[in-house]
Amino acid sequence: MYSDPARFCPQDGSPLVEVGGGSPAPETSVGLRTLVRQAALKRGPGMDRASSLSNSLLDSRYDVGKRLGEGGMSYVYLAKDLTSSETVAIKVLTPKLKEDKSSVERLRREAGLAMRLDHPNVCRIFRLGETEDGLIYLVMPYLAGELLSDREVRQGALPLDFGVPLLVQMARGLQHAHELQIIHRDLKPENVMLVPDEQGPGGVRAVVMDFGLAKERRQEPEVAKLTATGIVLGTPEFMSPEQIRGKPLDPRSDIYALAIVGFEMFTGQLPFQGRNAQEMMIARLRGKPKLLREVKQDLPGRLEQVLNKAMALDPGDRYTTMTAFVEALEGAEESGVFARLFRKQ
């Protein structure tokens, strides 16, 4: 389904390192990288069970195959559900982190939220399970396809007639989540899968995944406590200023992140620069984003205006809903270039 990579630790912003052989990816790359924190490389005996589930039977129900990837909080496996013969992806919480009550609560929250999602542009969760020996896992659809981040590395800046419809699909999926009072909180190219779809742009459809940092707008007190520890959750390159400051979030935070995703899709660069997680955050709080046409002059001026509004420092200056963002993107059509494409979405 996905390799759950990230460029910075979603819990504390620490730089991540590549696992496995081969040449390291360029610093500017956002490609397929199975990354974990350096500390996670020093695995003790307690890590063996979660990291070696391949070719085993999980919970007397799932025939576990190859490991698809790993992140700082989980391992992801390909599996077959023996009760339905369906191919699924299973995300297993690392034993070390399952001892952290906040991590377990966040995973349970992920399942509870994502089970309510039902939209072609978001990935739902089928089930939250726990084995007799204490492994906690999530069962999700297996999505055969390519991460948006990998497509960007392979292809570079994406053409508008391909990228804009994908951006619209992501926005519509997120609008569905927002209508259920769910904020994604960690939108980035690594969390978007491009799956085969004959009706989609370039024969693919964008699916927003990994609502692991998702947060209900109407929080219960115990949920609010999870982010009251001073830990900033999210990925520095795409976090909104209010998320960095630990302020209450609403759909406009996801709009901000999606605009940065769009900027990177169309230019191959990020609108903010920094040598580390802290500089990335400071740039978001103090600086202004690059203008789209500073990086790529042949892009439409109206598209630049739309993304710039979506990335406004003050949430009150952004679009209020993903639907409004989509309408603005549709209005960015110049000389009829996008009109035909939008009618198909």
Amino acid letter for position 260: I
DSSP label of 84: T
Length of the chain in residues, anyone? 345
Q: Is 20 left (phi over 0), alpha (psi -120 to 50) or beta?
A: left
Report residue 217 as tokens: 């707008």
Q: Is 285 left (phi over 0), alpha (psi -120 to 50) or beta?
A: alpha
Rg value, the chain, Cα: 19
Report residue 265 as tokens: 């899709």
Rounded Cα–Cα distance for residues 188 and 144 (Å):
19
Is-catalytic flag, 186?
A: yes
How crowded is residue 154: how many other Cβ atoms within 10 Å of its Cβ? 10
Exactly one of 4, 150, 186, 210 is catalytic; name it.
Answer: 186
DSSP label of 166: H
Rounded Cα–Cα distance for residues 7 and 14 (Å):
9
Report residue 132 as tokens: 């007799």
Cα 111 from chain centroid? Answer: 15
Cβ-count burial 249-269 (b if 16+ within 10 Å, e if not): bbbbbbbbbbbbbbbbbbbbb
DSSP label of 208: E
DSSP label of 215: E
Amino acid letter for position 240: S
Cβ-count burial 278-309 (b if 16+ within 10 Å, e if not): eebbebbeeeebbebeebeeebbeebbebbbb
Which residues are annotated as catalytic? Answer: 186
